[in-house]
Amino acid sequence: MEIDRRQLLAGGVAAAGALGTSTANAEPRAANIKMRRIAVEEAWSISEHQDAMAMLAAGNWPNLDAQLANPLGSRSTDRLSTRLRDIDQRLAEMDRLNIDMQILSLTSPGVQLFKADRAVALAELANDRLAEIIRAHQTRFGGLASFAPQDPVRAAREMERAVTKLGLNGFIVNSHTNNEYLDDPKFMPILEAAAALNRPIYIHPRCPSDGMAAPFRDNRTQSAIWGYAIETGTHAMRLILSGVFDRLPNLRIVVGHMGENIPFHLWRTDHWFERRRTVYGSKLKPSEVMKRNVFITTSGVEHGPALRYAIDVLGMDRVLWAIDYPYEEMEPSVTFMNNAQLTQKERSAVFHGNAEAVFHLPGA
């Protein structure tokens, strides 16, 4: 289905309605309604990964991600560092707020700052530890497997092991690796593995690559306030325009933070794609790829008009709930979704139905 100006204007009108007390289709709020709640972008770490990142932070490397790393590693007692590792505290908060399940993944930038051998070993260790947590709490956690894009062949092998041996639910990559993106042909084994295993790749943010880093070094724009969305949205658009989804129609990706700005730019991307269609690798318009191969999540965006717009433009089957814990708090995210101006069918899809389908989770 094509997107035109009238559709986007209609979406804008619907989004504006979300600011009021009701909409034409909104149904009773979910605060007191029993409904499964599955959060799909929830960060987690292990002490070995925190310590490895600390060693990078202690040097003089000007890499933006390394500069954000905690130089104390697992010795740090700050709240974020400990909450990344603390499963008991996480479960207690989930119980308090009636959150049924979280999909855990190794926190950004994952293993992607290390040399290939170290990255492969850390990914395997993290995946083994994640599988142990899931086995101990089978109804409460799922997991996204790490892999090392530095070695695409070994990455594909680890992806297969993570699904077939460990039972993990998909994969996570933290945008670029060595300033390269997954549309580069060298990474085709990774994309082919994800498609063959029928599991999605979650493209998670990290700081902008070296090629675009300079403007982000001032005013702390390199991370969540702006840089993450620019970096990750660029990665997703490279894939969308490259033609990889023509070649691998079963490949699916997930992008967080209400689509890293892509849904709100979609009319213009379609417009210019049509004007210069022959210069792009894809035969599919960006909106066609978004509606067939891409899912977005609400992580870190508790904004009714943005949620309403995303559902109206992409469809309710494209949007999944996420908190982004512990970088965001659980309670505001639950409250936002409980009170969002959605139909109960939409709320059910976003809260749990889409996650069950995308990540192959057992039903309640």
- Show the tokens assigned to 250: 């079963």
Q: Is-contact 40 355, C-beta < 8 A?
A: yes
Inter-axis angle of helices 152-164 and 188-197, nearest 10: 10
Following CA atoms 252, 255, 260, 261 in sequence, which dihedral angle do they give, to the nearest 10 degrees?
Answer: 40
- The helix/strand/coil state of 344 is helix
CA-closest candidate to residue 109, choices 69, 54, 74: 69
- Show the tokens assigned to 33: 């309604």
Bridge partners (DSSP) listed for residue 145: 171
- Show the tokens assigned to 178: 């060595």
Rounded CA-CA distance 284/301 in Å is 28
CA distances from 253 to 170, 216, 303 (A): 10, 26, 23
CA-closest candidate to residue 54, choices 36, 33, 14, 81: 81
Rounded CA-CA distance 284/41 in Å is 28
Alpha helices in 18-115 (DSSP H): 47-57, 64-68, 79-85, 87-96
138-153: b (≥16 Cβ within 10 Å) or e? eebbbbbbbbbbbbbe
Q: Tell me, yes or no, if 324 is annotated catalytic.
A: yes
Instruction: Give me the catalytic one of 65, 183, 312, 324.
Output: 324
CA distances from 359 to 18, 41, 70, 228, 352 (A): 29, 12, 31, 24, 11
What is the maximal distance between C-alpha atoms in the chain?
A: 57
CA-closest candidate to residue 296, choices 312, 274, 277, 272: 312
- The helix/strand/coil state of 172 is strand
Catalytic positions? 324
